[in-house]
Amino acid sequence: MGRDKSTGELVQGTLDMLVLKTLTRGSQHGWGIAQFIHEISDDVLRVEEGSLYPALHRMELDGLIASEWGLSENNRRAKFYKLTAAGRKRLATEAESWNRLSGAIARVMQTA
């Protein structure tokens, strides 16, 4: 599998969740998704293309997102991804378990 383990890379499940969350704002192409996550996270989260595109294709195969070709803001042909109903459902469950997890970690960090 030979995954690059550099810092700042997102755990796979987390990346899926962030992508799904990003797509709740409307359909977006791959670059846009990466850019959005990067900016909103104040440059903390960096989405590697090597992870992003396989993840997008996998989620598409799983039916969590759908794709169609369209024109980008600079009038280039680009592949746009949008959320499906299944994706929305998955996001809800993932977000919930994330919140539970991060809350738990936060509580432990505060007290211990």
CA distance 54 to 95: 21
Indicate whether 53 belongs to the interface with another protein (CB under 8 A): yes
Candidate list 18, 20, 23, 30; residue touching another protein; CB under 8 A: 30
Output the six-digit token pair for 109.
């960090």
Indicate whether 70 belongs to the interface with another protein (CB under 8 A): no
Indicate whether 27 belongs to the interface with another protein (CB under 8 A): no
Indicate whether 5 belongs to the interface with another protein (CB under 8 A): no
The one-letter code for the residue type at 14 is T
Burial class (CB within 10 angstroms; exposed 0-12, middle 13-18, buried 19+) of 61: exposed
Q: Which among 7-15, 17-25, 51-59, 103-111 is the span making contact with another protein, rule CB under 8 A?
A: 51-59
Indicate whether 77 belongs to the interface with another protein (CB under 8 A): yes
For another protein, give the closer residue by CB, 27 or 35. Answer: 35
CA distance 110 to 112: 6
Q: Which among 15-23, 70-78, 88-96, 97-105 is the span making contact with another protein, rule CB under 8 A?
A: 70-78
Using an 8 Å Cβ cutoff, are 83 and 17 in contact?
no
